[in-house]
Every structure is written in structure tokens, then in C-alpha cells.
Amino acid sequence: MASSLASPSPVLKKPVKLACIQLAAGSDKQANLEHARSKVLEAAQAGAGIIVLPECFNSPYGCDFFPRYAETLLPSPPPRDQSPSFHALSAMAAEAGAYLVGGSIPERDPQVPDRYYNTSLTFDRRGRLLATHRKVHLFDIDIPGKITFRESDVLSPGNKVTVVDLPDYGRIGVAICYDVRFPELAAIAARKGCFALVYPGAFNLTTGPMHWKLLAQGRAVDNQVYVALCSPARDVSGPYHAWGHSMIVDPLAEVVVEAEEKEAIVSWGLDNGKIEEVRRNIPLTTQRRFDVYPDVSQGDVKFTEEGLP
Ligand SMILES: O=C(O)CCC(=O)C(=O)O
């Protein structure tokens, strides 16, 4: 028996080129921001309408660095001296004339001392903030002899699913890195009509080869949407060795474009016809059995205020 609760069709109103910038960043925040600007403009000049930066694109990645690089993002817009990254991202989106998923930056809570988040800001083509996503699932893992990481020693989690309306194109879901491991978050965003799920991320040399591509393909095949993962470039002289391999996966779960580990821009033209074709040929969206299991997109789901009308 097919479910009567059909998901809303994803609407990508018109084709758009999405670009992931696999940015090489160092410890100089201002230099990172300037470098990001030049790459965002390069992507826009090559025709990208949606541009994505990596997780922690303006600092080294690591618990020791979060407080030192953190910026206060509230009230919004924050005063310039408290968030140079907010204002730089807003300006680069406007200058590029493109939607910008601004990777992520460490955020300082304006009210609670020593409370920090890993936060992604999305701007429209005029540089106006559309949405804020605080990483919901913190990266706490321990693979003995390989990698131990405990973001929760320093960071607090966000508590909302982020679905962003891009007025020219439709909805995207935005989440950060470890969030990609949680299919519920992706399913909720996809069932709210997103045409793409976008993850700034920074996997490592242990879990990157194991799971990065698998997870991108998993989220795409489950939800029949585009998935974009955007990593920093690998810097073996720095404290954290990112996997790289930024990629875009299509709704059939094919990796259509993938970087290596060096700095690169990877881009792909997204097309609603592809989503429709995949959903027509393999009609999961009308075959779900919400009489057997619950629809995670219904009920007490919390969205970013900006996320949905
Ligand atoms: O899930 C993983 O293996 C890596 C996650 C990560 O690096 C992150 O959340 O920053």
C-alpha cells in the first residue's frame, strides 16, 4: 500500500550551477577571508549561481582554535568589529551576485560566556542573510590509534533543521559535516521540498576514505536530491589534515564531479528534470509506508526561523 502522504515535489525553479570551493586556508583570518573572496568571484565568473565554502574556512580546524577565532553573530547583522566574517561573506555574496553558503565559522554566544557553536551562514545575491545553521551533531569520535575528536568539549550543538528558501531557485537544506551521518536530518529537509542538501565539511584521513563519498551517495539515494559536500583543501603542514574530495552527487547518487585533495573549484549544473526523472523511474516518494513507520518530517520538527514560511 502506497502512502497517501506524498512528499512535496522538490522544485528547482530553473537550472543553476552550484560550485564548491575547496579552499586552502591558513591561520590568518583576514588572509583567509580575502582568499575566499577571490575564489567566490572566480566561481561566480564561471557561472555559479550557488556557491559553497568549507567548514571552518577562515581558521584552522580544531577545538583549540574555536574560541580564538569565534565571532558574535547576534544581533543580526552583528557590529562589524564583532564579526568580520559575517560582513566579508555578505559583501562577497553581493559582489558575486550569487547565493553563498558561507561554509562555517566558530560562533560565540553573545549571552552565555564560553559557549560556542559551529555555524553556517547563507546569504542571498544581494548579501542579505537568509539563514543560520548551528551544527546539530557535534563531532565526537574515538577510533583508537587513528583519530580522537571531541567538539563537545568546546562547542554546543544547534537544535534546528535548516531549510533555506533561495527565491530564484527553491529550497536547499544546509547542515555541517558530521550532520551528514544522520539520515533523519537529510530526510526531513528533503521532504520539505529541498532540491539539494549542502554540507560544508572537513572529514579527515581516517574517516574520509571510509565514508565521505558513501555518505554523500547515501543521502542522495535515500532522498533523490542533489548533495554537495565542500571540504577545505588538505594542508599537511597544518594541525588538521582534511580529506578534501569536495563533490557533487546527483539524485541518482552518481558522483558527477569530485576534487582531489588540493585547492579546487568543482561545479555542476543542477536541473529539476534530473530529479523528476529519477523520481519517476524509481518512485520512492509515493511508495513510503507511513502507516508502518512514522514520517520523520512530520510532528515536532524544529526549523530555523528563516527556514520555512
Ligand atoms: O564524520 C566524520 O567522520 C568526520 C566529521 C567531521 O570531521 C566534522 O564533523 O567536522
Classify residue 5: in a domain, yes or no.
no
pLDDT of residue 303: 75
192, 171 contact by CB (below 8 A)? yes
Q: Lay out the sheet containing 194-200: strands in order across.
A: 163-166, 170-174, 194-200, 226-230, 247-249, 255-258
**What is the rounded CA–CA span in Å between residue 290 and residue 186?**
17
Residue 135 CA to ligand 1 centre (angstroms): 11
pLDDT category, 3, cuts 50, 70, 90?
very low
pLDDT in tens, 114-133: 999 999 999 999 999 999 99
Could you tell me the distance, in angstroms and rounded to a whole number, from the CA of residue 203 to the centre of ligand 1? Answer: 5
Lowest-confidence range among 7-21, 84-98, 155-169, 216-230? Answer: 7-21
Tell me if 218 is assigned to some domain: yes
Say if 108 falls within a structural domain.
yes
Domain with 160, as residue range(s), is 16-286
Whether 143 is in a domain gets the answer yes
- Does the residue 209 lie in any domain? yes
Q: Is 55 labeled as catalytic in the residue annotation?
A: yes
Does the pLDDT at position 6 exceed 70? Answer: no
Q: Is 213 a catalytic residue?
A: no
Which residue among 20, 56, 177, 194 is the active-site one? 177
Number of folded domains that form the chain: 1
Give me the pLDDT at residue 221, please: 98
CB 281 within 8 A of CB 135: no
Residue 309 has pLDDT above 50, yes or no: no
- Pairing type for strands 99-101 and 105-108 reads unpaired
60: Cα separation from own chain's centroid = 18
- Does a structural domain hold residue 298? no
- Assess if residue 308 is contained within a domain: no
Q: Determine the pLDDT at residue 10.
A: 56
Q: What pLDDT was estimated at residue 170?
A: 96
pLDDT-above-70 percentage for the chain: 95
What is the CATH classification number for the domain harbouring 59? 3.60.110.10
- Look at residue 296 and tell me if it is in a domain: no
